[in-house]
Structure 1
């Protein structure tokens, strides 16, 4: 089930909100847990058992860590818990990939043992949340949650369960214990949800169709098609993922749970260092706090700082998927972050020259998205080669499939998406749409939301829904 599915919009969501808003105390968490498990079962079937096991295992170990005295046994218990979480993630997400590469090197047939593995949706998100919970208990940043129901509601919270953001228990603990239910939060959350859904169905899905038309035959792609496809995907992935984050934040707010922002105008950055402070903030913050800093961060000398950056972005790429394209994408970003540190030092994230956005940041990011989007390293190579083949006789040829897509509505949607490249850093449509009580702009906001609801309703009912890109992670 996805948020743009009519069954979710017109059945599951209103019923869920009615139950959650009417109940209070422990019943509030119980309703969230039950509904979240139903939501996940609707999406993943029997794999819901894995989510239930993650809930119980992390809750139980958290209680044990809380009660253990300081000493090596407490440290070893934490390591065992982290390793158990990572082992489950590694088996479901990477076993087939690792075995396939071993087969290629040694001529074995080990990958056949893992060919039937089904990747549980959202496993990367709830696994990282479980790990952060255990580490925070060990560090003393948070106390273990005594209620299994409340912890289960946190780890399985359906708005962000299958595509993030990665929510840390310490950030939402108080809200799960005393939900912030109010008319302002209900209205603001609904507005934020509608805004995110509009980004998904109007802009992301439209841009995705353009990207697909260009990338469908990478070996035959032209210069113009390669750049158009890369630009379209750059628009698609931002509006798809930030749109999902808007919807998750909106539903969370309606339920009385405040989820932190996950995007802050990343394409308005001047450097890649700044980009990663604004893109998928929950993931970059997770790797910073639970990997980069424990490795020594930038405090262990220049060479080790570069090593730490390389490790973090190697794993960032691998987190996104079990494929060499994702790993190369992560290393590509890591390499440019190291280059920025060599050129500017630790101030790379504080550079504010707007011209750098257009001559440096956007070209680097757009090229990197080719690696992310391509089905294989070979396909990525074809597209990247086409992007520099301006002298090719067929350089300006565009696929026939684009002609059918070039309708006025699609072109308007694509143009609206392209505005994200020129927007200022301090403007957030999602935050603006969710604001309440500011009478000076209420009329503008109400007009926008009425139009958004109308457009979303027409598009959801008239077109086939498509899954969010980050569902595979």
Structure 2
């Protein structure tokens, strides 16, 4: 089940909200746990057992870490045990086939059969969440959650279960049992959810259609057509993923939770360093808190800092997918960040702002080519179209598609900046604006619903991670 589906919008969500608010507060976490399991199991009932097992592992490890906190070595041993179990589960389901495929290329393993292991939806997200709990309890950053149902609700919480944001336990621990559901927060949640729905249905899906068409004819699109195509993908992945994150935040607000912002207008960045402070913030925060800083961060000299940075970005690439293009993508950004930290960032600051923006966007777009194409020959072929005039400036099909989608691309470009938010913040206290906001929400819901009815199933891109 996906947020951008008629079933979720008009059956599941209304039922969940109606039952949730009809229950006494002491039963709401239990209901959220059950409702979230139904949400997850709707598409993959088999893997509910895996998620529950992961939940039990970290709940019990956290309990005993706290119970034997004064023991000289047992808490650390329990933490290591929790990490090994979690990483083994993630490694088996996500990377076993990838590792077997890599080994098969070696003469000694050439006859090896590569297993086809299905990837449980959301495993990368909820595994990182459960690990954050064990680590936070071990460090003393958070009290243990003694109620297993409340902990289960944290792990399985349907708004952010499938594709994030990755909610660290210490960011939500207090809210699990002491959140406040108010009319104002609920209304804000509806607005944020509809903004995310519009991003996904009205922009991301349409940009995806343009990208698909451009890829089909990339041999005749010309150099400008190739750049228009990758720009369409850049818009698609941003509005798809940030749209999901907005919907998750909105749903969280509707049931009293506050999730941290996961995207902060990354395409206005002036450097790669700034881009990664604005893109998928929850993932970057997780790696910084639980990998980069424990490795020593930047406290042990430049050489160690660069090594730590490369380790983090190798793992970041691998987290996104079990394929070499994701590893290359992670290393690519790791190298760029290393170069910026060593000398480039200070020099960039002395250049005109437009040049900084161009530099950042150009390198991000190159990164999206690496990210998208899992087959290396296709990747290099697309790079050939981006940087040569072998197929001319722009083909007739590419030009026609560009002119057709130009209005939406301009809207996407504007929506990628904080300009609309700033305008809203200046006028939101006016009485007329509140009525206009209600009308706009209704229009967005109608437009999205009519679009969804006419479209085929179109899941979020990050579901596969």
Fold agreement, TM-score > 0.5 = yes
DSSP 3-state at the match of 1:43 = coil
Map of 1:139-288 to 2, 5 A cutoff?
Answer: 139-216=139-216, 222-288=222-288
1:113 Cα shift? 4.9
In 2, Cα distance between the equivalents of 1:349 and 1:92? Answer: 42
Question: Pairwise mapping of residues 5-404 of structure 1 onto structure 2 (< 5 A)?
Answer: 5-68=5-68, 69-106=70-107, 108=109, 112-115=113-116, 117-216=117-216, 222-344=222-344, 354-390=353-389, 392-397=390-395, 399=397
Output the CA distance in 2 between the equivalents of 1:339 and 1:222: 32
Would you say the 8 A contact 1:204–1:239 is kept in 2? yes
**Contact kept? 1:32, 1:157, Cα under 8 Å:** yes
Structure 2 residue 416 is matched with structure 1 residue 418: no
Runs of 5+ consecutive residues of structure 1 not aligned to the other structure: none
In structure 2, what is the Cα distance between the partners aligned to 1:356 and 1:27?
55
Instruction: Return the alpha-carbon distance in structure 1 between the equivalents of residues 139 and 197 of structure 2.
Output: 38
Change in Cα spacing, 1:237 to 1:349, as seen in structure 2 (3 Å) is farther
CA distance in 1, matches of 2:429, 2:124: 37
Aligned length, in residue pairs: 463
CA displacement 1:15-39 (0-9 Å, x = unmatched): 1111122223331101100000001
2:258 and 2:348 map into 1 onto residues whose CA distance is 27
**How many Å separate the matches in 2 of 1:357 and 1:452?**
35
Q: 2:461 aligns with which of 448, 463, 469?
A: 469
Contact conserved, 1:219 with 1:379, CA < 8 A, in 2?
Answer: no
Measure how far apart 1:462 and its partner are: 2.1
For residues 420 and 330 of structure 2, the distance between their equivalents in structure 1, rounded to whole angstroms, comes to 28
The Cα offsets for residues 310-354 of structure 1, whole Å up to 9 and x where unpaired, read as 111111111000011111111111111111112256x79989963
CA displacement at 1:83 relative to structure 2: 1.3
Name the SS of the counterpart of 2:2 in structure 1.
coil
**Residue pair 2:125, 2:162 contacting (<8 A) in 1 also:** yes
1:441 offset after TM fit, Å? 3.8
**Whole-angstrom CA distance in 2 between matches of 1:110 and 1:440:** 71
TM-score by length of 1: 0.92
Q: State how far apart, in whole Å, the 2-side matches of 1:427 and 1:395 are.
A: 34
Post-superposition CA distance 1:407-451 (Å, at most 9, x none): 85x443232112245x25x7648x969x98764742443343233
Describe the shift of the 1:337–1:50 C-alpha distance in structure 2 as closer, same or farther (beyond 3 A): same
Greater shift, 280-289 or 65-74, is seen at 65-74
Distance (whole Å) between structure 2 residues aligned to residue 349 and residue 146 of structure 1: 50
1:304–1:464 Cα change, 3 Å:
same
User: Please, which runs of 5 or more residues in structure 2 have no aligned partner?
Assistant: none
Aligned-pair CA distance for 1:397: 2.2
8 Å CA contact 1:33–1:156 kept in 2: the answer is yes
